[in-house]
Amino acid sequence: MTTQDAGITFSNEEKAAIGQRIQRYFEDELGQEIGQFDAEFLLDFFAHEIGAFFYNRGLYDAQALLASRMETVAEAIYELEKETHGVR
């Protein structure tokens, strides 16, 4: 299973950059060196196993932002209403 199979697609440049970060993390935090292949394999694993949690969180955050912005739009539209002497 690859990141693409999980519905998450990264460009080659993105995969390389993420792989480098994983390698750096392993070296800095765990004192272990892993190769680029292993780092990308780990990325694929996490994308498949927990990627949906991050994706869904992003959707929830986007939905909350959109709801907030829609409130602002609704208020702006209400402010545009013309006086009709009590009749809506």
Euclidean distance between CA atoms 51 and 4, whole angstroms:
11
What parts of the chain have a pLDDT lower than 50?
1-5
20 lies in some domain:
yes
Residue 45 near residue 64 (C-beta atoms within 8 A): no
* pLDDT at residue 2 in the model: 47
Q: How many domains does the chain have?
A: 1
5 in any annotated domain:
no
pTM of the model: 0.65
Q: Is residue 37 part of a domain?
A: yes
Evaluated on CA atoms 50, 54, 55, 56, the torsion sign reads positive
Q: Are 25 and 46 in contact (CB under 8 A)?
A: no
Q: Is residue 88 part of a domain?
A: no
Domain assignment of residue 68, given as a range: 12-80
Whether residue 18 is contained in a domain is answered as yes
Please indicate, yes or no, if residue 74 is contained in any of the structural domains.
Answer: yes
Asked, for residue 6, whether it belongs to a domain, the answer is no
CB atoms within 10 A of CB 14: 12
For residue 87, is it within any domain? no
